[in-house]
Amino acid sequence: MRRARRPRLTGIVALALAVLPASLPAAEPVSLELVLAVDGSNSVSDEEFALQLGGLALAFLDPEVVQAVEAHMTQGLAVALVQWSNATDQAVSVPWRRLRSGADCWQLAADLRRVTRQVRGGTAISGALDFGRRMIDGNAFEGRRKAIDVSGDGPDLHQVHTRQARDRAVADGITVNGLVILDDNERLETFYRSHVIGGDRAFVMSANSFADYAAAIREKLLRELGVPRIAARPPPLRARLRPGMTESAPRS
């Protein structure tokens, strides 16, 4: 009785099996993947752009924010910074990194202070959201929560594109939160609430001007990190927060 022959691998299949790695590296688990997307469009002056970066740096130096980061120490959180303007103009200013300790926060703050402006142009929030979504989908981390934190001082003229980009992010399990810099544009918060934010427990906060950005982003980070506030110790920036910052959640 003739034994059945084993099927021979074709040369192409055999070559493919030889060059493919045995297994792809596993994604590193983190509590949160967070893209910080700052507005670099033409409506933002160089001074105002510097205020955004300086405000972020101050926020990550805040003792309560550091404590919130350290509460995630087991897995940590992954953070990246991108600046955006036109639909095709985005730049990664701080690549993905894991934060676990106060030292990590201090290093991030130092790097944020060294960021220079790389984009100018129109206001395309949809481009920023799509870019942030791809950053999250393609990094080396896997977060229990994923969020894009987009800040800006004006609406996207292509509202349909903005909603579609928001919906693509939400479909990927990403929450989009907003920080609007009103600067005499009281309707901007309504635009963000209707067209930009979305996902699980999404919210928008408002700063009256770029000068109030540091206090607002601090409060926003604390909320995104999901750590209960400590009532016994008042936040250092509280005095600046009250007159210049408000928050609202999406309408049900």
Q: From the first residue on, what is the mean pLDDT of each consecutive set of 10 residues in the chain (252 residues)?
A: 49 49 72 96 91 93 94 90 95 97 96 95 95 97 96 86 96 96 81 95 88 88 72 38 44 42
80 vs 56: CA distance, rounded Å: 12
Q: Residue 140: CB partners within 8 Å, gap ≥ 6? A: 25, 27, 28, 96
- Half-sphere exposure of residue 229: CA atoms within 13 angstroms, side-chain side: 12
Residue 92 located in a structural domain: yes
Which of 192, 186, 75, 196 minimizes the C-alpha distance to 132?
Answer: 196
Q: pTM for this structure?
A: 0.80
Residue 37 located in a structural domain: yes
Residue 15 located in a structural domain: no
Q: Which pLDDT does position 2 carry in this prediction?
A: 47
Q: Which pLDDT does position 203 carry in this prediction?
A: 95
Which of 60, 103, 64, 67 minimizes the C-alpha distance to 81?
Answer: 60
252 vs 245: CA distance, rounded Å: 22
Q: Which pLDDT does position 209 carry in this prediction?
A: 80
State how many domains the chain has: 1
Residue 10 located in a structural domain: no
Domain carrying residue 134: 28-248
| Cβ 105 vs Cβ 60: under 8 Å | yes
146 vs 144: CA distance, rounded Å: 7
Tell me how far CA of residue 99 lies from CA of 57, 65, 74, 88, 141, in angstroms: 14, 11, 11, 29, 12
Residue 4 located in a structural domain: no
Q: Which pLDDT does position 153 carry in this prediction?
A: 87
216 vs 205: CA distance, rounded Å: 7
Residue 189 located in a structural domain: yes
The token duo for 74 is 């087991």
Residue 45 located in a structural domain: yes
Q: Which pLDDT does position 227 carry in this prediction?
A: 58
CATH of residue 139? 3.40.50.410
Spell out the alpha helix ranges (H) of the chain.
11-19, 46-61, 63-70, 102-113, 125-137, 159-171, 188-191, 213-225, 238-244
Residue 113 located in a structural domain: yes
Q: What are the backbone dihedrals phi and psi of residue 94, each rounded to the nearest 5 degrees, phi first? A: -130, 110
